[in-house]
Structure 1
């Protein structure tokens, strides 16, 4: 895998994960985190930080290149983090720290 600021994102792909290849796998009720992610993206657009059309184009471009191996349903979150790092709104270190806090919280539950 590549190194650099996006390494934190690339390492979130679980071993054995695969990209969905058929429509039945895509036709399901979203997990709660997916709905929250969509709401976050809507807020970023509403506040002028990241336009929805620009986000969709970015998801298409990065989803078919750097994040090709990620399941389709998870791409929006890694692409959003990627774009926020590109814009200097978060650093890889901040993202790594936040991910560690979330993982710790889920391990306690």
Structure 2
């Protein structure tokens, strides 16, 4: 995968929604995962099975990017950030595409 050190504004801006990292140890990973986390893992498994995004490489990149670019983000959000980062690096979708989709979802959620 070898995601670069490029930062994507659309991902960095989510820090305002998520909030700064307050989890300072791995105890934050105890307990049941949130539904979105389970779905994220299933999506990653599907991407790996299809050969689009190898799980082991993704995990290495998650460690690397999580301690550099995404260090201010909570540990549990880093998988989603890393996958989005990697897919944009691979030109699967653009930063503008992701920004549009996120706006769509936010609108839908506020209407509910």
| Superposed pair shares fold, TM > 0.5 | yes
Match of 1:9 among 11, 14, 26: 11
The residue that corresponds to 2:108 in the other structure is 105
The residue that corresponds to 2:29 in the other structure is 26
Corresponding pairs, count: 106
**Residues 28-67 of structure 1 mapped to structure 2, 5 A cutoff:** 28-67=31-70
Alignment partner of 1:81 is 2:54: no
Contact 1:20 1:26 in 2 (8 A): no
TM-score norm. by structure 1 comes to 0.89
Contact 1:85 1:91 in 2 (8 A): yes
Change (3 A) 1:84 1:34: same
Task: After superposing the two structures, state which structure 1 stretch, 79-88 or 12-21, moved more.
Answer: 12-21
Structure 1 unpaired stretches of 5+: none
The 2-side partners of 1:19 and 1:46 are apart by 34
**Greater RCO (CA < 8 Å, at least 6 residues apart):** 2
The 1-side partners of 2:45 and 2:83 are apart by 12
